[in-house]
Structure 1
Amino acid sequence: MNAQIPKHIAITMDGNGRWGKARGLSRSEGHFAGVKAMEKVIDACISLRVEALTLYAFSTENWSRPLDEVNYLMSLPIKFFHEKLPQFMKRNIRIRTSGNLKKVPFPTRVAIEKAVKRTRNNDGMVVNFAFNYGGRDDIVQAIKAVVREKDVSGSQDITEMDIEKHLYTNGLPSPDLMIRTGGEQRISNFLLWQAAEAELYFTDVYFPDFDETDLKEAVCCWQKQRGYVSIYEKSM
């Protein structure tokens, strides 16, 4: 069979804080290093011709972290999109978000929504930032939306398609490959519905150290699991 590439890769970018601590740095410095790694992963996915990349940037559980760390995480999208949005436009990248932005501080929400609006007509790779995202919350809000819709139409029948239409990821293909860095082997409330058929790949590499070679290794494992010929195995 010919070599194939996952259409949609989803990544839990774990280990930033521990990466910083291991180097005598702050957790915030670890998160900053994670942003730099994220840029490299986006570049690598474009090179591989991946159609969609979802990055677990901030979970609904992350609000329980220390306030200074949360505040820093909320500042990162503002700085990131201010710097990178022109490049995303040049590279035809379309930005999407999954999650409840209503609970995000106003400046952060504005920065994210601006990036989504500016890139909405781009038709290249989709980079979907899961921000203030929780898989259970995603399913609950989708079901609520379906119920409201059914109340209006008078129909009582609820299908999987109805729910999928109202998930935050509506319009994106389901993830083929879900990667988690940092050594933990948990889904952690990430894309619970969408991951039903995804291959799960766990690596001990902290996300700031995760690079194109690590990504290709994950894709190679996915190709083997699906019975595809890998074009990367000999080069690694």
Structure 2
Amino acid sequence: MHKLPQHLAVIMDGNGRWAQRRGLPRSEGHARGVDVVRSLLTRCRALGIPYVTVYALSRENLKRPPQEVRFLFDLFIRFLKSELPELERQGIRLGMIGDRNALPLPVRTALDYGIKKTSGGDMLFTLALAYSGREEIMRAARTLAASLPNGDTSPEEQEAVFRRGLYNPELPDPDLIIRTGGELRLSNFLLFQSAYAELYFSDRLWPDFDDAELNRALAHYAGRTRRFGLTEEQLAAAPAPSSPGHGHNTPPDATG
């Protein structure tokens, strides 16, 4: 496989529709989606992709029917408990971005335990939970305003301070964002960090996402020329630029 992304981010869409088309409760679609996450991590580990982030629960998802939200929280806890030994075995480190205060205490406790238990891993698997890209940008803007009230600094320094206000400032920007389910939008996911990300939209519903579709997404990424605003002539004359937010060889601290 040529030119793999360092950071793969996934918007997992279609669990509910997958279940409805089969006459099953939505919870069955979510449960099947967990199996696909497990397969994705194993495949990315084998390929050597060091950062994987999945959009597991948005702030807007918290407005869904209470019984579905409760099921999702219970599913997260069961997933964390059941998968920790395998994450440890594969050297996969757990992380989280999002509003921790919006999560119930049992979910926060399970996350904290999982993050601590897998802290020795050299691949970072980040769950976006109770996450909103707009809220993250506002949070970072508050950090910038408090740190540089006069604005008397270079744009580069301002961006560095802004990044310190992100949920995990050490997490590299995504190189490739995959969205399943046939929708063509980012849905408030990594809005600041996705400035130069390549996008792959799959018609597959998330429970039907498999290694073959992942390979198609990676082939799409490999076929792209990432210019980061430069011309073809500039790219040919200079070393390949790294995208903003890159430059970390090992996964950073997982909490955000």
Residue 183 (1) aligns with residue 182 (2): yes
- Specify the SS of the correspondent of 1:179: strand
Equivalent position amino acid for 1:95 in 2: L
Equivalent position amino acid for 2:172 in 1: P
Q: How does 1:210-225 map to 2 (within 5 A)?
A: 210-225=209-224
Once residues 114 and 188 of structure 1 are traced to their aligned partners in structure 2, the CA distance between those partners, rounded to angstroms, is 29
- Specify the SS of the correspondent of 2:220: helix
* Cα-Cα RMSD: 1.6
Q: How does 1:162-201 map to 2 (within 5 A)?
A: 162-201=161-200
Runs of 4+ with deviation above 6 angstroms: none
Q: How does 1:31-50 map to 2 (within 5 A)?
A: 31-50=30-49
Once residues 113 and 148 of structure 1 are traced to their aligned partners in structure 2, the CA distance between those partners, rounded to angstroms, is 28
Once residues 144 and 79 of structure 2 are traced to their aligned partners in structure 1, the CA distance between those partners, rounded to angstroms, is 34
Residue identity over aligned pairs, in percent, reads 39
Q: How does 1:100-115 map to 2 (within 5 A)?
A: 100-115=99-114
User: Mean alpha-carbon deviation: is it higher for 63-72 or for 163-172?
Assistant: 163-172
Residue 79 (1) aligns with residue 78 (2): yes
Q: Report how far residue 155 of structure 1 moved.
A: 6.8
Once residues 8 and 37 of structure 1 are traced to their aligned partners in structure 2, the CA distance between those partners, rounded to angstroms, is 18
Once residues 133 and 75 of structure 1 are traced to their aligned partners in structure 2, the CA distance between those partners, rounded to angstroms, is 18
Gaps in structure 2 of 5+ consecutive residues: 227-256
1:141 aligned residue? 139
**Deviations 1:94-114 (Å, cap 9, x if unpaired)?**
111010111101101111121
Once residues 165 and 4 of structure 1 are traced to their aligned partners in structure 2, the CA distance between those partners, rounded to angstroms, is 29
TM-score between the two structures when normalised by the length of structure 1: 0.90
Residue 132 (1) aligns with residue 130 (2): yes
Equivalent position amino acid for 1:101 in 2: R
Gaps in structure 1 of 5+ consecutive residues: 228-236
Once residues 118 and 140 of structure 1 are traced to their aligned partners in structure 2, the CA distance between those partners, rounded to angstroms, is 31
8 Å contact 2:45–2:90 — kept in the other structure? no
Once residues 212 and 128 of structure 1 are traced to their aligned partners in structure 2, the CA distance between those partners, rounded to angstroms, is 20
Q: Report how far residue 168 of structure 1 moved.
A: 1.4
Bigger fraction of residues in helix: 1
* Residues matched between the structures, number: 223
Once residues 129 and 75 of structure 1 are traced to their aligned partners in structure 2, the CA distance between those partners, rounded to angstroms, is 15
Once residues 4 and 114 of structure 2 are traced to their aligned partners in structure 1, the CA distance between those partners, rounded to angstroms, is 27
Once residues 165 and 177 of structure 1 are traced to their aligned partners in structure 2, the CA distance between those partners, rounded to angstroms, is 22
